[in-house]
Each structure stands twice: as C-alpha cells, then as structure tokens.
Amino acid sequence: MLTRADKLLIAVLIFAAVCSIIPGLTSVAHEQLFAEIRVDGKLIRTVALRQGYSERIRIGTSQHYNEIEVADKKVRVVDADCPDQICVKTGWISLPSQQIVCLPWHVVIKLSATSQNIDGIAR
Ligand SMILES: [Zn+2]
C-alpha cells in the first residue's frame, strides 16, 4: 500500500524525469552540427551531420589523399597517405569546435553547430 509520501515521491521523480528529458530533446533538435572540410584554408565541403546519414568523402590530388567518413553525428579520417597519420589517429569527433587536422596535406575538418557557408555543399 502506497502512503501519501510515497505517491508524492513518485510524482516528484516523474516530474524530474520529464523536466530532464524535455530540455535534452529541444537542444538536440536545435543543434544542427556541420562538418566543415578545409584544404589550404579554403572551405571545400560542408556536410550536415544527421542521425542515420553516412557518407565517405575522398579529398586530395593524385599525389595524396584523405578519406573522410561521416556516420550519424560524427566524423573521422578513415584513411590517408600522410606521413604522420595524426588525422587518422585522431579518430571520431562529434562535438562542436572539435577538429581533425592533417598538417602534411593542409586539411582541417572542423565541427560547428552552425554554418555560415551552407552553399559550400554545392561546390
Ligand atoms: Zn594526415
């Protein structure tokens, strides 16, 4: 048999759970992550990161390359022929302002929550 105090406790717990879920949902819905891929400081691709979306992007020239993998809301360099392999070792990034840098090939992949240059997708 539940006492009045038990019922109150359950109500408070449910209320607290609902309150913690709702702000989480709204912030996820509002925060659109973009991966900005730059080579030599020039933005060459902006990829919107979405749950369930995946893509492999190969950038570079006939001399060298970086193969980038986008999966859900994270990005990594899967493969590259740079000498230091730091970009590959960096692994997955998934938070705004995180970045992967490939110094030898002047490649920077940066995550941002908003993007000023969505037109970059078409180029
Ligand atoms: Zn590299």
What are the 10-residue block averages of pLDDT along the chain, 123 residues in total? 85 82 57 93 96 95 93 97 98 96 97 64 46
pLDDT at 31: 73
pLDDT at 123: 44
Domain boundaries, the chain: 1-30, 32-122
Class (C level, CATH) for 32-122: mainly beta
pLDDT at 13: 86
pLDDT at 88: 98
Distance 33 CA to ligand 1 centre (A): 23
Give the C-alpha separation, 71 to 50, whole Å: 8
Distance 100 CA to ligand 1 centre (A): 9
**Nearest alpha-carbon partner for 58 in 116, 96, 105:** 105
Distance 121 CA to ligand 1 centre (A): 23
Distance 101 CA to ligand 1 centre (A): 7
Distance 13 CA to ligand 1 centre (A): 49
**Nearest alpha-carbon partner for 47 in 123, 105, 106:** 123
For the whole prediction, is pTM greater than 0.75? no
